[in-house]
Chains A and B, each alone.
Chain A
C-alpha cells in the first residue's frame, strides 16, 4: 500500500484498515474486487482507483465538505466513524457508514442548529422523568456526543485495555451492546439514550439527501432501491405489478 493510500484510509477512519485486516483479505498491490473496491475507491463513484493510475488530470474534484466543522480532535472523529460503521457496516450490498460519509454528516449536524437543540424546549427545571416523557436531559446533542465518545473510549480501555479504534469488530460490538444496555457510565444520562441517538444519526446520514454530507453519491438510496427525488410518477408506474428500477436523483438535480 502506498503512502498515499495509507493517508487516505486514515482520513476516512482506520476501520477500513481494520475491516480489511479482520476480513482476512489481503491488500496492498492485490486487486480487491466487489464491494471492497468501493472501500478503496477515492473518486466516490464506486470505480476502483489507485495512486498508480489516478493522475492529477483524471482525479475528480475534491469533496470539500469532507472536513471537520464540529470535532476538534481527529481521534474522536475516528472513534465516531468506527462506531457508526459497526451499526451500518460495509457488506456485499455496498458501503457502510464510513463509505457513505456518515461521520461527516454527524459532524456537520453537531455544528448546526440540531447540535444545540435550537428548536427544543430548553427551560428548566430539569428532572429525570419517566421514559415515556422523553428527552429531559440538560445536555445538548453536541455535549451528549462529546460525553458519549469519551465514555466509549474509557469503557474500552477499562474492559479490554485498548482504545475503541484498536479493538477488532467483535469487541467493538461488545462495547456498543454495553452502551445499548446502559452498562457504560456517561455523566448525566443513560448510555442507551446516547446509543439510540447514535443509531438514529447513522441512519439519517445513510439515507438523507447527499446535500448533508452523507448518503455519498446516493449509494444509500441505491442499496435500498429508493429513487430519491422524483417530481412525478405516471399512471402506468402507479399501477405496475412489477418493481420498477428508477435511477435516483437528489435535490441537487432539482435545484440546478
Chain B
C-alpha cells in the first residue's frame, strides 16, 4: 500500500500556478489567507531564458511544454469515431511549470465584447430566437460586461498593458497604463488600407510593455526590446507580463504563499458536497501527499480542470444524449483562417517585432455588424501580427509553387521578407455534439484515464469561418499584394496543425445550476468551497485572444474566495 503523508491544513490550495493560480495566490495572500500553490512542473524565471532565441528547441520541440509522454488527451471529430491519443503537439501547446502558459504566451490582450456575456439574450433581442441554429448551446455568462469591467482594468494595471484606443469594444473605466508599442510599415499599410475600406483598425493591446513599468503590487517590468521570440518562449528581459514577474513574486512577498513546484495534483478529495483537500504526487520522488484545505481553487489549463473534476468524481458529468449534467459541456475552440500576401514591390523587416504587437479591427466581430442576411451569428477579430517572424516555421510561397525543390527554395527565399499574413480568430459556438469526457482506453503515467475531446466545427462555425476568410482575402488584395493565397479549409477540425492554444469550456459559468457548473464567482454549484478558474469557465469561445478574460475571472474569483473565507455559503 502506498503511504499518503497528511500535511497541515491551509486556507487555500491552488491546483496549478499559472495566470489564474498566480492571481488567486497574490490576492488571497495579500488578504492574509495562507495559500499553498501546487504546480506539477518545475520553477523557472527570467534567468532561465538567456538561450531563448532558439526556434528549434522552444518553438518546434516545445521545450517549455507539458511532457506528453506523461499525459495527453485523446481526440475524435464525432462520437462515431474511435478517439486516439494526441501523441505529439499540433493544434495547441499545453503549458507546464511555474507560470504555466502565461510564461510563454504572445501577450495579445483582448477584452471580450459586451455581446459575448449576454450572447443569447442579445441575439434573441435583435434577431429573434429562430436565429440560433439547432444544436447550439449558447447561453448568457451570468455576468455582464459592466460587471466584469473592473476586473479587466485590474488585470491591465497588473500586467502594464500597452495600447491606445480600442474602437467597437466595450467602454473602459480607465485608460491603458502604457502607450501602444511602436510598429513597422507593414502595420501602417494594414491600418491605412482598412481605414480606406471604412473599417476601424487599431494597435492590439499588448502585455509586452512599451516602456519600463511598475505595477500596483510594486513589481517592475522592463521595456520590450522588440526582438520577437515571445509565444513559446520566456522573456529574457522580464518585459513581457507573465505570472513569474508579476503575481507570483507579489504573492511570495506576503510571506503567506507556499509555492511547491514538481507537485502534481491527481485528486480532489470531497465529502457531502464539500472538498476537504487534494492528493498530490511529488514528481521527483513519487511520494504522495494529502494537502487539506478550507478552499480548493482548480486553476490549471482548460483540459486539466475538466479531467481533475471527472477523475475526482466531483460535479455531474455532461451526458450528450440527455443533455443533462455540466462537466465537459460546451467545449469550444476557434476557427483560425487567414490570407498570405506576397509583395513583389515591398520588403519588410519581418524579424523585428514583439509577441503582442499587431493591428486589428473588430468590424466583423461579435455583433458589431448586422447578421440579418447571414446564416450565422458572431464573428471574429481580424489581425495582422508583427510578432517577429522565425525562419523554420515560415517558408510560405505563392499559390502554385511546389513545396520542395529548386523553385520552392527560390520562392521561399525571395518572399521571406515580402510575405505578410492577415488572419482571424473566429468564434466557435457550443454544440450538443462537442464535449469533453474521460477516455475509456488510454491512461496517464499514474494510470488515470486521459481526457477525451469530441469536437468538430459545426455548420455555422464553417459559415463564419468562410465569411471571415473572405474578409482577410479582400483586405490583403486591397493592401496591394502581388499574389494572394487561397482560402483555407474549414471542413473538419484538425488536431495536427497549429492554430491557437485557445481551448475553452467544460466547467462553464452561468446563473443556473442546471446549465452551468460554476456561478459568476467561479464557485462550483455542487461544492461551494471549490472554485474552478480558467478558460474552462467560458460558455462559448469568442473571436479574441483568450488570456485576459481568464485573468479578469481570476480576480473575480479571488474576491469570491476572500468573501467565502469569512462568510461561507453560496456567493451567487
Contacts of B410 in A (CB 8 A): 91, 93
Least CB distance from B66 to A in Å reads: 9
CB contact between A121 and one of B86, B182, B395 (< 8 Å): that residue: B86
CB contact between B351 and one of A88, A121, A127, A227 (< 8 Å): that residue: A227
Give the size range of A's interface with the partner.
35 or more
- Map CB proximity to A onto B30-57 as digits: 1 under 8 Å, 0 otherwise: 0000000000000000000011011110
Least CB distance from A241 to B in Å reads: 5
Considering the chains assembled together, what is the distance between the CA atoms of A220 and B349 in angstroms? 17
Asked if B405 and A87 make an inter-chain contact with CB atoms under 8 angstroms apart, the answer reads yes
Considering the chains assembled together, what is the distance between the CA atoms of A192 and B203 in angstroms? 42
Asked if B50 and A122 make an inter-chain contact with CB atoms under 8 angstroms apart, the answer reads no
Q: A119-B68, A208-B392 are in contact. Are A233 and B226 (CB under 8 A)?
A: yes
Least CB distance from B50 to A in Å reads: 7
Least CB distance from A191 to B in Å reads: 15
Contacts of B494 in A (CB 8 A): 131-132
Considering the chains assembled together, what is the distance between the CA atoms of A239 and B442 in angstroms? 52
Contacts of A173 in B (CB 8 A): 405
Contacts of B496 in A (CB 8 A): 131-135
- Map CB proximity to A onto B69-100 as digits: 1 under 8 Å, 0 otherwise: 10110011100011011111010000000000
Asked if B352 and A91 make an inter-chain contact with CB atoms under 8 angstroms apart, the answer reads no
Interface flag for A57 (CB, 8 Å): no
Contacts of A89 in B (CB 8 A): 405-406, 409
CB contact between B69 and one of A118, A233, A251 (< 8 Å): that residue: A118
Interface flag for B563 (CB, 8 Å): no
Least CB distance from A147 to B in Å reads: 18
Contacts of B85 in A (CB 8 A): 121, 123
Give the number of A-B contacts (CB < 8 Å): 158
Interface flag for A240 (CB, 8 Å): yes
Asked if A239 and B391 make an inter-chain contact with CB atoms under 8 angstroms apart, the answer reads no
Q: A87-B404, A129-B82 are in contact. Are A224 and B391 (CB under 8 A)?
A: yes
Considering the chains assembled together, what is the distance between the CA atoms of A244 and B493 in angstroms? 40
Interface flag for B482 (CB, 8 Å): no
Q: Which residue of A lies closest to B418 (CB)?
A: A243
Least CB distance from A49 to B in Å reads: 25
Binds B, one of A73-81, A150-158, A199-207: A199-207
Least CB distance from A14 to B in Å reads: 19
Q: Which residue of B lies closest to A228 (CB)?
A: B53
Contacts of A176 in B (CB 8 A): 404
Asked if A93 and B413 make an inter-chain contact with CB atoms under 8 angstroms apart, the answer reads yes
Most B-side CB within 10 Å, residue of A114, A134, A231:
A134
- Map CB proximity to A onto B437-467 as digits: 1 under 8 Å, 0 otherwise: 0000111000000000000000000000000
Contacts of B56 in A (CB 8 A): 204, 208-209, 212
Q: A132-B494, A134-B88, A207-B392 are in contact. Are A121 and B55 (CB under 8 A)?
A: no
Contacts of B352 in A (CB 8 A): 233, 237-238
Interface flag for B531 (CB, 8 Å): no
Contacts of A238 in B (CB 8 A): 182-184, 226, 349, 352
Closest CB pairs A-B (n = 4): A208-B56, A132-B494, A207-B391, A232-B225
Report which B residues bind A (CB closer than 8 A): 50-51, 53-56, 60-62, 65, 67-69, 71-72, 75-77, 81-82, 84-88, 90, 182-185, 225-227, 347-349, 351-352, 391-392, 395, 403-406, 409-410, 413, 416-417, 441-443, 492-496
Since A237-B226, A238-B182, A240-B349 are in contact, a sample of 19 more A-B pairs with Cβ atoms closer than 8 Å, ordered by chain A residue number, is A87-B404, A88-B409, A89-B409, A93-B413, A119-B65, A120-B69, A121-B69, A121-B72, A121-B86, A123-B442, A129-B82, A132-B492, A134-B88, A204-B60, A227-B351, A230-B227, A240-B184, A241-B185, A246-B351
Between-chain CB contacts (< 8 Å), 23 pairs: A87-B404, A89-B406, A117-B88, A119-B61, A119-B68, A120-B68, A121-B71, A130-B81, A132-B494, A132-B495, A135-B88, A173-B405, A203-B395, A208-B56, A212-B56, A224-B413, A230-B227, A230-B351, A232-B227, A235-B182, A239-B182, A243-B349, A254-B53
